[in-house]
Structure 1
Amino acid sequence: MTSARHHGDDAVALDETTPGRRLSSDERRRQILVAAMAVFGTRGYEGATTDEVARAAGVSQPYVVRLFGSKENLFLAALDDALSRLLAAFRAALRADDPEGDRAKGLTPQKAAGKRIGHAYVDLIEVRGLHQTLAHAYLLGSTPVIGAAARRGFAQVWRFFRDEVGLDADEARAFMAEGMLISTMIGLRIVDDYGSDPQITELFRSCFPTELPHVLGVLPRGGDRW
């Protein structure tokens, strides 16, 4: 089983079932992508380096380059991984319907699905850097390759809400806007001000009415490296 362990503030994927076992190239690739999301999520594309990703993953920088070729390719792979995880979580939440329970709560199928998907989005905060890697990609529209990939991914998320969930355009817009708000809060590491700033405390309680204790425990803080 591969799990996340912290070396200081670096999240590193390690094999714990067989100590000393040599990881396969696919497992190493996964390990590097976990580290890349954390590093790109914190540093952004311009600020991150393949050397920093390699250190976070516990591998050599030449090995990262050998697997991915360039920082741009590594970022594209991290972006693709983040989008895949996001949509997989959304689709799993969409499939986990409970029609009788939803009717008892007075929820339409779309509203019930929206609530489950919202919880899935919040749960993904545990994947360090996922939301912020997406957010950084959405700021790179002027770059030829990354910008095109980011636009495709953004459109995929929009189509998911419109075509698969069945939300109307206003509902889809509101859902994505709230997601962007949460991503902004993560990037600001504004959780440090929870409890001391009444406005920020109110914002957190409004955004996370049922998951606040969990969210406060997993959000990155100002002093965290990633």
Structure 2
Amino acid sequence: MTPEPEPTDRRTDPAPRMRAEDRRELVLTAATTVFGERGYVGTTTDAVARAAKVSQPYVVRMFGTKEALFLAVLERALRRLVGAFRGAVAENPDSPPQEMYQRLGAAYSELLTDRGLLLSLMHAFVLGSDPEIGRAARRGFLEVYRLLRHEAGFSATDANTFLASGMLLNTLIGLRMADDFDDPDVRDLIECVAPTKAEVLVRMSRAERI
């Protein structure tokens, strides 16, 4: 995939005393937010640089292309998601199925405040036709499914239900459905999908509108 031409700018790069891994995390955090809001096609490395308060050439030096940057964002998002699930499983690997299901659901709910992370995953999942991004997204999705089946001990039906609920929740976040929480049907939908996190979604929505 050919990287798009983008304007350079004169923003300064991070302080040289910052560790390399911290500089990388700074850019990836900003990129996660921008990709989440604008999608892959709508994002430029210049927009990421502005969000990270660094220069566009600095972002290109670090990642090379927009595609490579998005793949790094996807890898980071999947690492956080899988890490959250494995942490929940490790709390009590021998939990009965319903308890394990609830604990993994709670772990997923804790990621709701990172809107960019969840939406970046969604954007990756609709790019299945892209040779590189599609391959990485399929691999990541399958890793999550295998974790549910073989580490959490979910049945195939429970794993599918869990994934379907998570994707519905992501859709509600992408739609900013909580913006219309005063509508009784919207409230009913959100409280059904995320009964313990409805207030969190509403607070996020109100904070974003300020």
The TM-score with structure 1 as length reference comes to 0.81
Deviates more, 1:211-220 or 1:61-70: 211-220
The residue number in structure 1 matching 2:60 is 65
1:168 to 155, 158, 177: 155
Check the 8 A contact 1:141/1:150 in 2, yes or no: yes
2:168 to 177, 181, 196: 181
Shift of 1:221: 7.0
Structure 2 CA distance for aligned equivalents of residues 221 and 140 of structure 1 = 30
Pair 1:32-2:27 in alignment? yes
Structure 2 CA distance for aligned equivalents of residues 220 and 46 of structure 1 = 27
Aligned counterparts, 1:69-148, within 5 A: 69-97=64-92, 109-148=96-135
Q: 1:215 to 1:97 in 2, by over 3 A?
A: farther
Structure 2 CA distance for aligned equivalents of residues 97 and 142 of structure 1 = 39
Q: Which string of whole-angstrom CA distances, capped at 9 and with x for unpartnered residues, describes residues 16-57 of structure 1?
A: xxxx78312211100111111100011000001101111111
Q: Which string of whole-angstrom CA distances, capped at 9 and with x for unpartnered residues, describes residues 96-133 of structure 1?
A: 2397xxxxxxxx62211111111111111222301100
Structure 2 CA distance for aligned equivalents of residues 215 and 91 of structure 1 = 24
Unmatched 5+ stretches in structure 2: 1-13
- Overall identity of the aligned pairs, in %: 48
Check the 8 A contact 1:125/1:218 in 2, yes or no: no
Instruction: Specify the SS of the correspondent of 2:115.
Output: coil
Structure 2 CA distance for aligned equivalents of residues 45 and 57 of structure 1 = 17
The residue number in structure 1 matching 2:141 is 154
Unmatched 5+ stretches in structure 1: 1-14, 100-107
Q: 1:147 to 1:38 in 2, by over 3 A?
A: same
Instruction: Specify the SS of the correspondent of 1:129.
Output: helix
Structure 1 CA distance for aligned equivalents of residues 176 and 138 of structure 2 = 26
Pair 1:216-2:202 in alignment? yes
The TM-score with structure 2 as length reference comes to 0.87
